[in-house]
Structure 1
């Protein structure tokens, strides 16, 4: 049973792992667009946000039941981004000090 659960988790990580181009039109500049990079590692899923060449590693990344949750620190503020995987795209929202920000992402590789 454990190996089946581990295999299901690995298969789920495979469908989410890769580079995603994101758009968040109401976010403050320069965070209106960039990339989300998700990697399958030995210890689970890892990720980072890439904005204008700056890499911000996520402190926590989880993916379960087609829901992706990333926790990051952006300009000294904790930010949680919650996505649903819908028809091959990530659709969700980030909490920010100024309130919720809609975010959409499409996989590029």
Structure 2
């Protein structure tokens, strides 16, 4: 109990010093700085990841699958897993929340346009057979 007073005053001293430092460097007193918040938002809103998707009005074997979107050295890559096959997409373009790519299914080119919003994707797959609605969720 004898040292309690010293501990109390030492704690008070450190708290008051910390407060003056926070006053000198505004914005650094937050528990979560703007930079970290922006980084978390960027990762959360990023198209990078594994997406389970469904496509309406197509044959059953192509009605569901998985998209794997990665980024290596500033280049995005897309793998499409459907009907027990893994296909590599070409012409991959990512711009903010939009993802566009092409993939060849049974010899026919399918152009896919997606919009990412949080952990959901929505878009269209266009082929010679028509345009089909695609939606999915981040896994």
TM-score (norm 2): 0.64
**Separation in 2, partners of 1:85, 1:35:** 15
The one of the two structures with greater contact order (alpha-carbon pairs below 8 A, sep at least 6) is 1
Q: Which has the higher helix share?
A: 2
Poorly superposed stretches of 4+, deviation over 2 Å: none
Structure 2: runs of 5 or more not aligned: 1-41
Mark the structure with the bigger radius of gyration. Answer: 2
Once the two structures are TM-superposed, the CA of residue 60 in structure 1 deviates from its matched residue by 2.0
Are 1:46 and 1:60, in contact at CA under 8 Å, matched by a contact in 2?
Answer: no
Residue of structure 2 aligned with 1:30, choices 61, 86, 98: 61
**Deviation digits for residues 36-74 of structure 1, max 9, x if unmatched?**
111111250001110133101001211103111011111
Q: Hey, what's the Cα distance between the residues in 1 that align with 2:96 and 2:74? A: 19
For these two proteins, the number of residue pairs brought into alignment is 98
* CA drift at 1:87: 3.8
Shift of 1:27: 1.7
More strand by share: 1
Q: Which residue of 1 aligns with 2:84?
A: 53
| Partner Cα distance (2:51, 2:96) in 1 | 19
Rounded to whole Å, the distance in 1 between the matches of 2:97 and 2:76 is 14
| Root mean square deviation, CA, Å | 1.9
Partner of 1:8: none
TM-score of the pair, normalised by structure 1: 0.80
